[in-house]
Amino acid sequence: MQFLTSLQELLFPPHCLGCGLPSAPLCSRCKNSFPLDNHQIHIGRVTVYSAVNYNAVTRRILLAAKEDGVRSADDLIVSALHHSLLYAMRNTDNQPILVPIPSASRAVRTRGRDFVQEISKRLSPLVGLPVQNLLRHNRMVNDQSRLDASGRFKNLDGAITLTKRPIRVHEVFLIDDLVTTGATLNEAVRTLEVSGFKVAGAVTALVSLPLR
Ligand SMILES: [Zn+2]
């Protein structure tokens, strides 16, 4: 696999993930569109910590990671999540577990991996907090990108469930790549709280302005 990656890089020299210029992983201009910052929004009572605004460049980086499995794009998403998580950790004395927001099973089949579960696994040793894949979708959901805000909340109502009844109830940081309306996070928080978990916060790499 490593050999194939090196061969690919030899045949197709890496380009900027944001604009395609021959300067990887990001050219200096696109780097300016990926500044690590501390954004906070609130979904119900839960604070969402994010590092970077969703824009044309960050959208391309996320797609390269999520849909094409480009390793350097994964690295950028992990670095943004790491930044937000360190900030979120300042607001709790406990040692929450990391719980990834699950992908719809159709997306996992197409991509060959559950993207957020995989980047959460990479995040875990960086912050010394364990990951538990506690959540899954329990029914088909429609593609969220075609729905408005209220459609997204309806689409996800009751759609996320626990994978198992845990022996111990923990404090949790929810992990996701991007927050838009917060419909998915809201549903995940509801599922965890009715089972006795305390959600210490949600952490995402990217934050998009709320949809109307
Ligand atoms: Zn660029």
170-182 per-position pLDDT tens digit: 899 999 999 998 8
Q: Indicate the pTM of the whole model.
A: 0.87
- Tell me, in angstroms, the distance from the centre of ligand 1 to residue 10's CA: 20
Give CA angle at 13 (8, 16), nearest 5°.
Answer: 120
Q: What percent of the chain has pLDDT over 90?
A: 63
Domain ranges of the chain: 34-207
Q: Mean pLDDT score of the chain, rounded to an integer?
A: 88
- Tell me, in angstroms, the distance from the centre of ligand 1 to residue 44's CA: 36
Report the pLDDT value the prediction gives residue 104, as an integer from 0 to 100: 83
- Tell me, in angstroms, the distance from the centre of ligand 1 to residue 152's CA: 32
- Tell me, in angstroms, the distance from the centre of ligand 1 to residue 89's CA: 32
As a whole number, mean pLDDT of residues 13-39 equals 91
Buried-state track 91-128, b at ≥16 Cβ within 10 A, e below 16: eeeeebbbbbbbbbeebeeeeeebbbbbbbeebbeebe
**Which of 51-65, 69-83, 137-151 comes out lowest in average pLDDT?**
137-151
Kindly report the CATH class assigned to 34-207. Answer: alpha beta
Report the pLDDT value the prediction gives residue 11, as an integer from 0 to 100: 61
- Tell me, in angstroms, the distance from the centre of ligand 1 to residue 108's CA: 29
- Mark the residues whose beta carbon lies below 5 A from ion ligand 1: 16, 18-19, 27, 30
pLDDT tens for each residue of 69-126? 999 999 999 999 999 999 999 988 889 999 999 988 888 888 889 999 999 999 999 9
As a whole number, mean pLDDT of residues 160-188 equals 90
- Tell me, in angstroms, the distance from the centre of ligand 1 to residue 15's CA: 8
Phi then psi dihedrals of residue 122, to 5 deg: -75, -30
- Tell me, in angstroms, the distance from the centre of ligand 1 to residue 212's CA: 30
**Which of 17-21, 51-55, 148-152, 196-200 comes out lowest in average pLDDT?**
148-152
